[in-house]
Amino acid sequence: MTQYAFFKGKIVPIDEAKVSIMTHALNYGTACFEGIRAYWNADENQLYAFRMPEHYQRLIQSMKILMMDARYSARQLCDITCELLQKENFHTDTYIRPLAYKADEIIGVKLHGLSDDLGIFATPFGRYVENEEGAKVGFSSWQRVSDNTIPPRGKITGSYINSAFIKTEAILNGFDEALVLNDRGHVCEGSAENVFLVRGRQLITPPVNEDILEGITRATIMELARTELNLEVVERPIGRTEFYVADEAFFVGTGVQVAAIASVDHRPVGNGGLGPIVKSIRDLYFDIVRGRVPRYRSWCTPIYVGEKAPAPAV
């Protein structure tokens, strides 16, 4: 249960972290956010936040896109988050939600000349999609927002209406998740996760100019695939039917972690189960995020160290 939030510059009981019905961000979607996971390691009695500085750097980039003041550095935000989590004292996997929002209580659609605020809360959190070992996926009838409509490079709350249309359609049509095309007809990502496919020893994913979020899990998997699994990683536009003939395919993201795709548009991907490459990536990822792989320990910020867990240098 969430007990506290960082709100208007300090940690307060969660019941005090409230905004007005007139808040600009609530009316117009003028906010941006992050999703960060912290993993409980029972052997070490420790909670590890995964790639927290990178998430806060991306939040600051999203804020820049929305013309917000960068009032905190990534380093300061890491320190605030450690303090908040220490107070919550969660001993379980946790999801951290920072939110920067246009806080003025006025009518008027714009970005400029408004004041903003930044809040953070955290909540215990497990799985994000059903069937992580083999999700049934369908291509969405919705189109992804684009860099010239609502830039997907920023994690902007208003654009998540697009994700919500995509996700709900998929679930109501009997799928676990969706894939979505951009306005050029190329594959972008899932409703809230990046996507890879495997052909031979190649791992293929859309490049950052294909209307995707520049995912932190995506960057993590690309690095691990190259350095640990000796795979060739290729960033290039992907057509829909490449998923029909792929050997393996999978989603990655903070929420979804690494989830195998079993079928796309009712066609089995590979043998329709958890393939060997996705399995090795999943196993490695789950060990790393829990702080079990010493050479990647720098990606994991320990929360419970002495009085205050120091954030890694940014």
Query: Which residues are known catalytic residues?
Result: 155
Instruction: Dump strand ranges (E) for 221-271.
Output: 232-235, 248-253, 257-264, 267-268
Q: How far is the CB of 235 from ligand PMP (least distance, A)?
A: 15
CB 285 within 8 A of CB 256: no
User: Is residue 210 part of the contact set for ligand PMP (CB under 6 A)?
Assistant: no
Going by C-beta distance under 8 Å and a sequence separation of 6 or more, which residues neighbour residue 307?
A: none
Give residues with Cβ within 8 angstroms of 25, minimum separation 6.
19, 31, 101, 102, 103, 157
- The yes or no reply on residue 29 touching ligand PMP (CB under 6 A) is no
Confirm or reject binding of residue 193 to ligand PMP (CB under 6 A).
yes
Verify binding: residue 132, ligand PMP, rule CB under 6 A. Answer: no
Nearer to ligand PMP by Cβ, of 104 and 189: the residue is 189
Footprint (CB under 6 A) of ligand PMP, residues 160-189: 163, 189
Instruction: Name which of 129 and 309 has its Cβ closer to ligand PMP.
Output: 129
Cβ(91)–Cβ(40) under 8 Å?
Answer: yes
Contact with ligand PMP (CB under 6 A): which of 12, 19, 35, 199?
35
Residues in the chain: 314
CB of 35 to ligand PMP, least distance (A): 5
How many chain residues interact with ligand PMP (CB under 6 A)?
14
**Among candidate residues 91, 93, 7, the one with its CA nearest the CA of residue 50:** 93
Q: Which range in 84-92, 101-109, 191-199, 223-231 contacts ligand PMP by CB under 6 A? A: 191-199
Q: Minimum Å distance from CB 258 to ligand PMP?
A: 10
Q: Of 38 and 114, which CB lies nearer to ligand PMP in the complex structure?
A: 38
Residue 49 or 114: the one with the smaller Cβ distance to ligand PMP is 49
CB 277 within 8 A of CB 287: no
State which of residues 25, 49, 192, 311 lies at the interface with ligand PMP (CB under 6 A): 192
From the list 19-27, 196-204, 242-250, 252-260, the region that binds ligand PMP by CB under 6 A is: 252-260
What b-and-e string marks burial along 189-227, b requiring 16 or more CB atoms within 10 Å of the CB? bbbbbbbbbbeeeebbbbeeebbbbebbbbebbbebbee
Identity of the residue, 53 or 114, whose beta carbon is nearer to ligand PMP in the bound complex: 53
Residue in the structure block whose two tokens are 């999801």: 95
State how far the Cα of 283 lies from the Cα of 273, in Å rounded to an integer. 15
User: Is residue 163 helix, strand or coil?
Assistant: helix
Instruction: Give, as one character, the DSSP assignment of residue 213.
Output: -
215: contact with ligand PMP by CB under 6 A: yes
What's the min distance (Å) between Cβ of 81 and ligand PMP?
16
- Closer Cβ to ligand PMP, 79 or 214, answer by number: 214
Residues near ligand PMP, by CB under 6 A: 35, 163, 189, 192-194, 213, 215-218, 253-255
